Structure 1
């Protein structure tokens, strides 16, 4: 047979479109051509495949070899096509059986010795395969490098056969129909059975108001800005915040892991561990939202279903911060380039921290602030009103007196806080099937209506603080979460009052 057809997958954002690898051998001057919009890594596979076949003791055909990666208008990148190209050459030249190839999909990078190396995005590919079927309703088996099999097999209904080398894959097809030990077998991932280990809130002494605010934020999925002098524990609180979030569901864990898999940064040891991303303030807009010639996810997508912590937020470039406005509302980001477009999820929880002034000591107990009011206003003005308007809760984190710090007992543990958060979260799911921060305007009118006293207080606060409609709705959603933590079906005056305290704007909006 001079023609072999195999199946593989490309990566296009979060999608993994199927790629048909067609290998044709013809008479003529020996050549090796790859067509189908291959990028540099794919073109270089000619040399990897030739060396791998020769070092595995196969004959490299002295023929005109043409490899077509269809569809032709889909860009192909990375070395994931090495394995299907090598197998296609062997099948087309009759050096391995070609029957049964249609039951499989292949991806893997070859070393010059013929060993298989891990590929980027293995989990993203198998995650996309769940919706791809044969015409008869069966799913294909995916043959992958062993190093990539653990993450790919996390998709429960995917069948993954791991292999260590090209020879092992060829032996599998040579042994078809027999009980030989050479046949590949389905891989089961080693998943951690214990609960994820997070940093504990008991490490943070004092700051009861900030801890309470973060508990409310975790229960309702609200974004938070922590404002206070240096050394008050803002970064410590943020680092421990993932430990009080509700446990991840299997679907949430798959979504998060699939995004991290696109950068090669996922490990099965982090299965169902909430992502925590803390980019430096020198990060660019592309680093935050993603991009590049071949679009890759940015920090907001890598924090999907987890926490994005922006420390010293006024030190970020203002244009960089503005890119957060849309994903904070929509929970996704679309990267558009001239040649392609990619969609990435970005349902993250924003925790930001900042000093109250350029020197940092405005409101500190033991240091005097020397900043002028104009300098303070200009520093705080680095965060635009529209972005500040989208942050649900703005919390003052005050300095702790030395005597109180030395005498302070250990704080409440994350486990106790997480139990209350989970109970509140489950109440929200039973009532509206989503977290409070995701409620639409219509749903706010339905689920967040306060009693008469609470409505009067809210009306007074709106008038005095000059809130926008968005700020008004966000206060109502925070009040709904406060009421849920108290197991109260109706939002009362006390819940509204607490929510208003969490809306301490740095300046009028």
Structure 2
């Protein structure tokens, strides 16, 4: 009795676990059916696959005679879930029964759901499986067409598509170098022009300070809080931030697609647009940050490399909001449960909106506010100081004048912050690129600069240092707030005067002015 080993993949969190299926088949002299024993912590879907497996083998002429088929899933201590292992289980059984040579299934990961008629059904998780396979040095993957197309984005993986068990057998037994042999799936081309629409910002009339804040947020990766009365345009502005961000790099697209695929939100191909998540304020802690049993990613992970928009910020639960503090600084969230610890990616850009008081009209130029001062204070204090400290930009918005709202319908009027939406997007992308090139490692925007890095790339001119010191004393700024102001000032310089190394007093003044929302 020889043990056969076939590689499959099981979705786990935002990634995939490569599962080795150990198969051994023993014949029986007695007449009877094939008995299947499945071990290795399978879930209910996998346990049900034993009956499905016999139907598949019978319908594809891969029958096993009377006997016992042992299938063990390793690593044995990790729980395996889902239908993604169907294809690997079928091939392990067929190889153990002598229908395939073990060399045909070596060095390959098989992923896909199989119907009882032998047809393959696409499933999410192809990209996650390809990433996990590459990590283990496995070079080949076979899956249903849509799943294989997703996996083809990984350069070191040869992805082959099959629509049925019969096509899988042809791929495994035919030399790919021969004419007419199986062809690997090629990655889908990407057009970055389809990934964003900066001109969408032109729909927002007025609110020049808000547009400037959006441009700075996009250029430096800074968090943004918009405070203003109902109808001032807070949500409209916040939803335009995603169109000012540059198209994702290939690595970012793979990261985002892996998360979407592993969580059942499969884009059926590589993601082209940055994620934009806008959860309702009734979202639970686990829904926002992640958790549950089994551990599932929250909204902050689904917003990885994109934007998390929290509208009506004070209406979120305080504990829920406090869960954002660590991810905002580290770009990931650590979730610990009794049986398992998981780290999930969460490098998102936060943009939030809120009214200044319960009625919404505190500070409105025309509508009186009926809230008592203590009520306004309690409402604003629902956002804790430590969380506010982590939001670099805080802007007060007032309603746009009627003459701006009731325009002539002509082209967008250039703004003081650099022009129409397309121009703002181009300037933000250039500033963002400068920041990454200056740091020397991809992904480090100004919002992520540490104290020592700020000393190197954002030295303060003497007048700027004096201004910041006076502001720190008069406003009782924390150490985190001071460093935040320096980061924003660096971004302002990247937009306005990229050739100047020292931070000027005007850049510090603008950073201070954009931190006055609450």
| TM-score, normalised with respect to structure 2 | 0.92
Deviation of residue 140 (structure 1)? 2.5
8 Å CA contact 2:256, 2:271 repeated in 1: no
Task: Name 1:418's counterpart in structure 2.
Answer: 425
Q: Counterpart in 2 of 1:145?
A: 144
Q: Which residue of 1 aligns with 2:312?
A: 312
Q: Distance in 1 between matches of 2:472 and 2:517?
A: 13
Superposition deviation, residue 505 in structure 1: 4.8
Quote the residue 1:136 is aligned against: none
After TM superposition, give the deviation of residue 339 of structure 1 in Å: 2.0
Distance change in 2, residues 1:116/1:180 (3 Å)? farther
Question: CA 1:403 to 1:8, structure 2 compared with 1: closer, same or farther past 3 Å?
Answer: same
Cα distance in 2, alignment partners of residues 230 and 193 from structure 1: 38
**C-alpha distance after superposition, 1:123-145 (max 9, x if no partner):** 11212333322xxxxx4210011
- C-alpha distance 371-178 of structure 1, shift in aligned 2 (>3 A): closer
Aligned to 2:258: 258
Specify the alignment match of 1:213 in structure 2. Answer: 213
Asked if 2 retains the 8 angstrom alpha-carbon contact of 1:357 and 1:380, the reply is yes
8 A contact 2:242–2:274 mirrored in 1: yes
Q: Check the 8 A contact 2:23/2:70 in 1, yes or no.
A: yes
Please point out which of 81, 84, 101 is paired with 2:85: 81
| Runs of 5+ consecutive residues of structure 2 not aligned to the other structure | 414-418
Q: Which residue of 1 aligns with 2:118?
A: 114
Q: Give distance in 1, aligned partners of 2:75 and 2:271.
A: 34
Does the Cα contact within 8 Å between 1:250 and 1:272 map onto a contact in 2? no
Deviation at 1:155, TM superposition (A): 1.4
Is 1:503–2:515 an aligned residue pair? yes
Matched, 1:59 2:69: no
> C-alpha distance in 2, partners of 1:353/1:10?
39
Aligned partner of 2:480 in structure 1 is 470
Tell me whether 1:427 sits opposite 2:437 in the alignment: no
Question: What is the aligned partner in structure 2 of residue 274 from structure 1?
Answer: 274
- d(CA) in 1 for partners of 2:15 and 2:473? 47
Q: Does 1:190 align with 2:188?
A: yes
Q: For the residues of structure 1 that align with 2:76 and 2:284, how far apart are their CA atoms?
A: 33
Given the alignment of the two structures, is residue 493 of structure 1 paired with residue 505 of structure 2, yes or no?
yes
Deviation per CA, 1:263-316: give whole Å up to 9, x if none.
Answer: 132325663411111111111111112223232221111111110000111111
Aligned mates of 2:114, 2:69 — CA distance in 1: 18
Aligned-partner SS, 2:363: coil
SS at match of 1:161: strand
Cα deviation for residue 176 of structure 1 reads 4.8
Q: Distance in 2 between matches of 1:176 and 1:93?
A: 23
Distance 1:404 1:192, change over 3 A: same
Which sections of structure 1, spanning at least 5 residues, go unmatched?
Answer: 134-138
Q: Secondary structure at the match of 1:67?
A: strand
Q: Is the 8 A contact 1:33 1:66 kept in 2?
A: yes
Report what 1:440 is aligned to.
Answer: 450
TM-score by length of structure 1 reads: 0.93
- Distance in 1, matches of 2:422 and 2:67, equals 66
Work out whether residues 150 and 269 of structure 2, in 8 Å CA contact, stay in contact via their aligned partners in 1. no
Compared CA separation, residues 178 and 367, structure 1 to 2 (3 A): closer
Number of residue pairs matched by the alignment: 500
Distance 1:63 1:365 in 2: 84
Q: Is 1:363 the counterpart of 2:375 in the alignment?
A: no
- Partner of residue 325, structure 2: 325
